[in-house]
Amino acid sequence: MILVDSCVLLDLIGGDPVWQPWSARKLAASSLVEDLFVNPIVYAEISARYDKQNEVDRMLAAAGLEFMGVPRQAAFLAARAYRRYRSQGGSRTSLLPDFFIGAHATVLGCSILTRDTRRYTTYFPTVPLIAP
């Protein structure tokens, strides 16, 4: 399975002139080799671009993406990564979405399709990334 990061989907939704072609290519290629999914964090981030929930669900279905909840083990691991981030001088005072996404992929042993690798490589170095 491959967890698709919101940045990839937002490239498609917004038609980003720089990243949309890469995101579309990688999403299509990844769907040929693995099942693709989003979690509640990605779902929430992309939902900000829509007025109705059924529009989000239709877009995900059209892209061949499933929805999967975050297990407690991943939520705990996200908190551990956040604590490390803060101890290293991180300034955000709430858990970052990347921590939930990275922890979810770690617990499932799956890859993340993303173009934003910075926090994943720092806090979840064992997660395989499909990235530029």
The CATH number covering residue 36 comes to: 3.40.50.1010
Structural domain harbouring 13: 2-130
- CA angle centred on 84, ends 78 and 87, rounded to 5°: 140
pTM of the model: 0.92
Dihedral angle of Cα 74, 47, 13, 32, to the nearest 10 degrees: 40
Overall average pLDDT of the 80-92 stretch: 89
Whether pLDDT at 94 is above 90: no
